[in-house]
């Protein structure tokens, strides 16, 4: 559902210089803008990744296209980037939003957790899942996640108890960022804290995601393409088509790429022998 920004909250850290905005659907979004300091393709990468991740059911925040009207920009002078020390205004139009998990005034969200808390995250399996994804799409950025506390129901237990949940974010540098190429590297997608992979004992521990990627349906890739506003890809149609074709062909490589992570000097899976 297309939504519009109604209130500015604050600037976020990060190279894309996104901003936290409240939208008219009653949610808050970290919004990355079309004319961000990185590259317009970063937004296409985010949208394509969102469609692929939705199919793989990996824990990511819901995403949306967020409209920013000229009046909103006039009323919020903070809506600008700093590029080379100079202010550059955000352009009106459609941008990419990643939903904040709740009301930012009441829900703290963390970029990092200390080790003791990281081990208790309710969905550590998602770090294995997203590694499969990052290797497939050649995400050259370090693996990033946000954490927040929520009630979770664990199997065979009564009412839920509070625990930290991880949500995978920042897919602007999938597809080797604005280059739209694929590079194989055993370091891509690895979370810097390898304790999240402690349960990995064999390739089986990357299922069902490995199998789902190897047999990834073409229709879902087509759907990803169709989710992009046409004016974002004007003049880029051929390059995008080629990128997605190569992504499709690359599916079969992913089990080998995971094996390369294991073989790498810094074997991140100490319990996989």
Ligand X SMILES: Nc1ncnc2c1ncn2[C@@H]1O[C@H](COP(=O)(O)OP(=O)(O)O)[C@@H](O)[C@H]1O
Q: Does 210 bind ligand X (CB under 6 A)?
A: no
Q: Does 14 bind Mg ion (CB under 5 A)?
A: yes
Residues of span 60-79 touching ligand X by CB under 6 A:
61
Identify the CA nearest to 54 among candidates 259, 214, 217. Answer: 217
The gap from C-alpha 268 to its chain's centroid, in whole angstroms, comes to: 21
Residues 216 and 192: their CA atoms lie apart, in Å, by 27
Interface pick for ligand X out of 144, 199, 227, 264 (rule CB under 6 A)? 144
Write down the H helix ranges in the chain: 41-56, 70-75, 115-118, 125-137, 209-214, 218-226, 237-249, 254-263
Residue 11 CA: distances (Å) to CA of 21, 67, 73, 98: 9, 17, 14, 14
Interface pick for Mg ion out of 46, 126, 134, 170 (rule CB under 5 A)? 170
> Which residue, 35 or 144, has its beta carbon nearer to Mg ion?
144
Total Cβ atoms within 10 A of residue 186: 19
Residues of span 158-187 touching ligand X by CB under 6 A:
169-170, 172
CB of 169 to ligand X, least distance (A): 4
The gap from C-alpha 269 to its chain's centroid, in whole angstroms, comes to: 23
Q: Which residue has the tokens 């996640």?
A: 145
Interface pick for ligand X out of 8, 34, 99, 250 (rule CB under 6 A)? 99
Contacted by 9, from Mg ion, ligand X, none: CB < 5 to 8 Å by type: none
Contacted by 142, from ligand X, Mg ion, none: CB < 5 to 8 Å by type: none
What are the residues binding Mg ion (CB under 5 A)? 14, 144, 170
What are the residues binding ligand X (CB under 6 A)? 12-16, 18, 30, 61, 98-101, 109, 111, 144, 146, 169-170, 172
């Amino acid at each position: 559902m297309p939504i519009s920004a109604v209130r500015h909250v604050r600037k976020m850290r990060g190279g894309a210089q996104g901003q936290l905005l409240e939208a008219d659907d009653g949610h808050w979004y970290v919004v990355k803008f079309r004319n961000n300091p990185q590259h317009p393709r970063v937004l296409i990468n985010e949208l394509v990744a969102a469609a692929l991740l939705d199919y793989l059911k990996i824990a990511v925040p819901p995403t949306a296209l967020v409209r920013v009207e000229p009046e909103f920009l006039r009323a919020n002078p903070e809506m600008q980037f700093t590029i080379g020390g100079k202010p550059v205004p955000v352009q009106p139009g459609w941008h990419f939003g990643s939903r904040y998990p709740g009301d930012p005034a009441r829900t703290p969200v963390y970029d990092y957790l200390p080790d003791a808390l990281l081990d208790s995250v309710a969905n550590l399996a998602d770090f294995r899942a997203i590694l499969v994804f990052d290797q497939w799409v050649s995400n050259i950025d370090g693996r990033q996640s946000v954490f927040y506390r929520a009630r979770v129901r664990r199997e065979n237990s009564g009412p839920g108890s509070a625990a930290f949940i991880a949500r995978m974010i920042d897919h602007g540098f999938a597809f080797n960022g604005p280059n739209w190429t694929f590079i194989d590297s055993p370091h891509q997608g690895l979370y810097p804290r390898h304790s999240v992979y402690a349960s990995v004992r064999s390739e089986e521990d990357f299922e069902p995601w490995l199998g789902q990627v190897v047999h990834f349906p073409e229709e879902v890739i087509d759907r990803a393409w169709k989710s992009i506003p046409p004016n974002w890809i004007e003049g880029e149609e051929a390059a995008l088509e080629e990128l997605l074709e190569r992504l499709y062909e690359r599916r079969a490589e992913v089990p080998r790429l995971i094996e390369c992570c294991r073989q790498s000097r810094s074997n991140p899976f100490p319990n996989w022998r």
